[in-house]
Chain A
Amino acid sequence: MNFLYCFKAEWIKKRRSLAAWLVIIGGFFTPAIITCAAIYRSEATRKALLKPDFWNKHWLASWDTIAMFLLPMGVILATSLVTQVEFKNNTWKQLHTTPQSYTRLFLAKLAVILTMLLQFLVIFSVGTYLSGILPSLIISNASWPTGAIPYQKIFSDSVFFFVDCLPIVAIQFLLSLQFKNFLVPVGGGMALWITSMVSLSWKYSYLVPFSQGALFYLKTSGRISKDLPVHEVALLYFTVITGISYILYITKKEKG
């Protein structure tokens, strides 16, 4: 129960915060762009809506910019913002004098970030669905999408993207807990993301942190054929880095 109280308290902290808005705006951003583009290219959209694999292609097209750029950037920013709220407001000392164990406080903060990531994936999926049906309502003579919605694929892809984002969460969480200066975690995250993008063609690119989401997208969209253990590596990174982060957090000499 105590963990739930900590989680609830952490959840209150993100009210009206930039991180909270980032999840909502980020989730609807790409679907909104896709909707506008579909309305603009109405002739092509009319034809696409008639195809049986419409939803499959629409789902992959929606992930195109998200997987490579927006999702990693969003996770870097949101994780840093949520974690750094204590440094920003000088509240570590207040938090660490509440009757809660350090483990609970650590896990509650991490759980809020993971819940926000889930929230983003749900919003994004809803946004993608809306961006699929809205053009057929707006464009004259456009039909309702005829193909079946691939629920199974949407669910499994979302789970895999969630898993592949975990190394980003873990690294950003560690950096944001250790460094007071917001630029350190954000700068570090950007540097790692650029490294992962540059190394995508390398045969061991799946070992580079932050590359797993992009590699999964390239695989699922058929742009690479080799099976790479990206999800396993992502889970391993998350476990190890979160473990290190926890040890550094509880052994910190100054707690505020």
Chain B
Amino acid sequence: MYCIETHDLCYRFSKEQSILNRINLQVPTGSIFGFLGPNGAGKTTTLRLLLGLLKKQDGSISIFGKDLAKNRINILRNTGSMIESPSLYGHLSATENLQIQQVMYQCAPSRISEVLEIVGLSHTGRKKTAQFSLGMKQRLSIAIALLHNPSLLILDEPTNGLDPNGIIEIRELLKKINAEQQITMVISSHLLSEIEKLVTHIGIINKGELLFQGTLSQLQTRQNLNAGFLFRTNNNAKALTIIMNNGWEATEQNEFLYLPTTDDLAIASLNRQMVQAGIEVYRMVQQQNDLESIFINLVK
């Protein structure tokens, strides 16, 4: 069951400038979905479309199994969000900012102190939010998103501008909320390292195209298929013959020979044969297979 499903979602600012191209996003219910892509990839545009902040041009958006265009208000009643920078009334205190939302969502006034406690801002009193640090503003924005006990949380770069400690705090907070309340979360980021410890599912977008979506392990499996070794020698042609004589298929990549295996014995044997054949092996490099390199390879 998917909490969010888009079908052929497209968006363009002008005829020439396409921002999203046939995005088919599927966010499973209860998951923490990391929406990843470099700056300008189309993440924020997608999230703004999901929240109805941008008028949909082509395709369809379904949230909680309902069409967003026809059920916007009902869907928003169960959705909490934070898009880009925090949206706070600077001349008001944290409590007053939350009061505005409490009135809008008609939730219990006691929730205000509860969410302030959750995000660690109970001590701020009458201090105006304009005087808050960026980290405090981010946490208050998360509190606003959580205020009405939503079933879906859409957070656009929630750790932007936070120090490493703040990033860890927010990550732990989101994990806890997901575990305790089974809230589906969509969290966008341009840094995989920032969210890989948090998410259960991942979607990678670049230049308006959804390049991958699935579980983290599916992404790792995909990368393992591409794992291999790179050889750089003084005679790649001769080295290639040796590799092929051993039953492997290698390809030339710039000055390297790429061998699609990470088998230690095979690599050692090939190296020995090359040296014995008088080939000077300058470099043997294992192709990176951490998530960051998968991401970089995908968006390259």
Neighbour of B83 across the interface among A13, A16, A89, A93, CB < 8 A: A93
Q: Does A115 contact B (CB under 8 A)?
A: no
Q: Which residues of A contact B101 (CB under 8 A)?
A: 9, 94, 98
Q: Does A65 contact B (CB under 8 A)?
A: no
B104 lies within 8 A of A5 (CB): yes
A16 lies within 8 A of B77 (CB): no
How many residues in B have their beta carbons less than 8 Å from beta carbons of A? Answer: 30
A107-122 vs B, CB cutoff 8 Å, 1 = contact: the mask equals 0000000000000000
B81-96 vs A, CB cutoff 8 Å, 1 = contact: the mask equals 1011101111110001
A99 lies within 8 A of B92 (CB): no
**Given known contacts A97-B79, A253-B54, A254-B54, A89 and B88 CB-to-CB distance under 8 angstroms:** yes
**Given known contacts A5-B106, A16-B91, A89-B87, A97 and B53 CB-to-CB distance under 8 angstroms:** yes
Q: Which residues of A contact B48 (CB under 8 A)?
A: 93, 256
Q: How large is the interface on A (under 10, 10 to 19, 20 to 34, 35 or more residues)?
A: 20 to 34
List A residues 10-24 near B (Cβ within 8 Å).
12-13, 15-17
Kindly provide the distance from the CB of B87 to the nearest chain A CB, expressed in whole angstroms.
4
Neighbour of A99 across the interface among B74, B89, B91, B100, CB < 8 A: B74
A100 lies within 8 A of B103 (CB): no
A234 to B248, CA, bound (A): 86
**Given known contacts A91-B87, A97-B81, A9 and B100 CB-to-CB distance under 8 angstroms:** yes
Q: Which residues of A contact B85 (CB under 8 A)?
A: 90
A-B interface contact total, Cβ < 8 Å:
79
Neighbour of A12 across the interface among B54, B79, B100, B144, CB < 8 A: B100
A89 to B100, CA, bound (A): 14
List B residues 55-98 near A (Cβ within 8 Å).
55, 73-74, 76-77, 79, 81, 83-85, 87-92, 96
Q: Which residues of A contact B92 (CB under 8 A)?
A: 12-13, 15-16
B77 lies within 8 A of A12 (CB): no
Q: Which residues of B contact A88 (CB under 8 A)?
A: 90
Point out residues on A near B: beta carbons under 8 Å.
Answer: 5-6, 8-9, 12-13, 15-17, 85, 88-94, 96-101, 253-256
Q: Would you list 11 pairs from A and B whose C-beta atoms are within 8 A, ordered by A residue?
A: A5-B104, A93-B84, A94-B101, A96-B51, A97-B79, A97-B83, A98-B76, A99-B74, A99-B105, A253-B54, A255-B53
